[in-house]
Structure 1
Amino acid sequence: MERPIFVVGCPRSGTTLLQLMLHAHPRIAIPPETRFLLPAYYRRAEFGDLRVRANRRALGEWITGTRGHKFPDLGLDPAETVRRIEAAPPTLGSALGTVLQEYARRHGKPRWGDKRPAYIQYLPEIFRLFPDAQIVHLIRDGRDCVGSLKGMKWWEHDSLHSVVTWASAIDAGHEAARHCPDGSYYALQYEHLVADPAPQLSALCEFLGERYDPAMLHPETVASVNPKRKKHHARTHKNVDMAVVRAWEERLEPWEVQLCEYVLGERLRAYGYHLSGLGRPPAAVLGRYARTLARYRQAALRRGFKDGWHRLVSDDDLACRPGGSDHGLLTAN
């Protein structure tokens, strides 16, 4: 079985561009952003013993039929997908992997994966589902991520939360670099990617164990695989350029630049991003940021506690397995 590829990062860091660059490769298919992996992981107890065919069928129907899962964006036949999940090995990772593998099959490619920025915060969960996964972490100047998120109608948070989100993504990447098995985690920077794509993509292909293909330089040729409704991805239909590098200089107010550089300064400098030197943000801004950070950490702790308890009381096997037979499975309805 080919190793799955997961593209992660802070929102608005260029992950859609990288998804399309990978999708342009003749052996790799990365679909539009899906929304069923993490919900399935956290609701897995509801589906019961997946050795039972009826339970696998119910899981497949939940994946393909639940509003918000973005399954229609994949262009797959729901009934056929459910049948393939029924025939898959009896683990949650196998069921989820079957959907992504079917997407790759539809495009005539052997290798599959997924892209969602938020996965950077859930790498332990991803590895429980896909132990042989390869993580590709795209990093962009935090000020540009914050500035870009300001203009997104779907982003329901303020700039304080955006700063916390970028810092958390960077810190999660550092944890992954230390603890992931060799050959499982790779980081690259957006600014380097758009400035000189060929060597960056060539190095990425070497990590993935693939031969570099020049088609990857033209993600605009495959941009139509993503939904037209996502107007914020309009730039992916154009040639790769550096037009939005340092766009934060126009998009951020002085206090936002101050906050970014004050709380993210060490992380920014570590990646070669130069600071403006605007100085310390107002005390009121720092107080609001501290409260936002505290709420973010509390939510992460609650999520971790809930998952830890579930893992303590349940010894279920989640890992994606190769194959597609019903050997040794229970067929009761």
Structure 2
Amino acid sequence: MTKNTPLMIVGAPRSGNTLVRRVLMASGQIYIPPETYVLGELIENWRRAALLSWRDKVWLFCAYFDRHPHRNDMDIASLSPFADTAARWPRAQRNLRALLDGFYRFMAGEHGYTQARWGDKTPWNTVHLKSITRFYPDAQYLHLLRDGRDSVASQVRADMRDIDEAARRWISANEMCERHLRKVSHLQMRYEDIVRDPETSFARVFDWAGLRFESRFLTEVPARMGDVTLRTHHANVLEPITPRSIGGWTRSLDAAQVSALPAPFHAMMTKYGYG
């Protein structure tokens, strides 16, 4: 691990990804943008651009981000400054890894951050985790695990998906983490531990990531967090860390709804000790 090693926060939706992003960024040692959504697609489809000129590759790269429905979450007026600069890069720098590194640094600069190291916290990356881990075998992967009932209930409350789809998403995300993180540097942390004992939990995360931890990082809120202020389901991230959301599923789901969830959901819950 070096100071330029990406740190990927992965796991099912509503598992604490944005909270961890907030605390890591408060340290001033790493920049993590709002959810990017298209990292996996870019990696998987990049070979199709092989015959394009470098300028056209840069434009295509930017279009993946610029045309996404959640483009405004980036809180960046224009990607043209990056595209104009990258199009003039020397030949030795003309590759996808350099583009991604340069683009994350561009986003950091646009938001007032100067850290050399960057990360990503997009839950959708689990769908493409096989490709991402092959492309970034040297990255660090933080797998956040949360009680499936709370993840499902939170997804439903946020109007992200219905209860059955939310359960399938929780299963698949954790399955992908189990399958594809075996051969890379990874750490699994439970959301419940993080919010019950943030001091101990984040000290462990920071040590594993090679970052310096201070207690004040737990209460400071970084500027320009993008989707945190734009998406109501991220509102609690700006509040003090508290365990009050643990077991919150009981306020929106009944026993019959939980019992009706698919068998693999219950099997995975038991496997992780949430049964």
Shift of 1:175: 1.6
The 1:123–1:261 alpha-carbon spacing in structure 2 relative to 1, beyond 3 Å, is closer
Match of 2:172 among 162, 168, 178: 168
Secondary structure of the corresponding residue to residue 264 of structure 1: helix
State the match for 2:14 in structure 1: 12
Shift of 1:261: 8.5
% identical equivalent positions: 26
Cα deviation digits, residues 217-242 of structure 1 (max 9, x gap): 125x1265123320111101111101
Cα contact 2:143–2:188 (8 A) shared by 1: yes
The separation in 1 between residues aligned to 2:165 and 2:188, in whole angstroms, is 23
What is the RMSD computed on CA atoms of the aligned residues? 2.4
State the match for 2:200 in structure 1: 199
The separation in 1 between residues aligned to 2:269 and 2:118, in whole angstroms, is 32
The 1:72–1:17 alpha-carbon spacing in structure 2 relative to 1, beyond 3 Å, is closer
Q: What stretches of structure 1 of length at least 5 have no aligned partner?
A: 276-333
Cα contact 2:142–2:187 (8 A) shared by 1: yes
State the match for 1:180 in structure 2: 183
- Paired amino acid for 2:37: R
State the match for 1:117 in structure 2: 123
Shift of 1:42: 3.9
Q: Which moved more, 1:199-208 or 1:86-95?
A: 86-95
Secondary structure of the corresponding residue to residue 149 of structure 1: helix
Cα contact 1:121–1:172 (8 A) shared by 2: yes
Cα deviation digits, residues 181-220 of structure 1 (max 9, x gap): 3xx211100000000111111111121112213233125x
Match of 1:151 among 144, 154, 157: 157
State the match for 2:269 in structure 1: 268
Cα contact 1:76–1:102 (8 A) shared by 2: no
Cα contact 1:4–1:134 (8 A) shared by 2: yes
The separation in 1 between residues aligned to 2:125 and 2:233, in whole angstroms, is 20
Residue correspondences, number: 267
Structure with the greater alpha carbon radius of gyration: 1
Give the TM-score normalised by structure 2.
0.86
State the match for 1:95 in structure 2: 99
Match of 1:139 among 132, 136, 145: 145
The separation in 1 between residues aligned to 2:204 and 2:243, in whole angstroms, is 20
- Paired amino acid for 2:128: Y
The separation in 2 between residues aligned to 1:234 and 1:260, in whole angstroms, is 28
Secondary structure of the corresponding residue to residue 8 of structure 1: strand
The separation in 1 between residues aligned to 2:167 and 2:20, in whole angstroms, is 22
Cα deviation digits, residues 44-77 of structure 1 (max 9, x gap): 2453346x43233323442454243627624365
Cα contact 1:74–1:103 (8 A) shared by 2: no
The 1:210–1:233 alpha-carbon spacing in structure 2 relative to 1, beyond 3 Å, is same
Cα contact 1:120–1:137 (8 A) shared by 2: no
Shift of 1:40: 2.1
Shift of 1:13: 1.3
The separation in 1 between residues aligned to 2:168 and 2:190, in whole angstroms, is 19
Give the TM-score normalised by structure 1.
0.72
The 1:76–1:124 alpha-carbon spacing in structure 2 relative to 1, beyond 3 Å, is farther
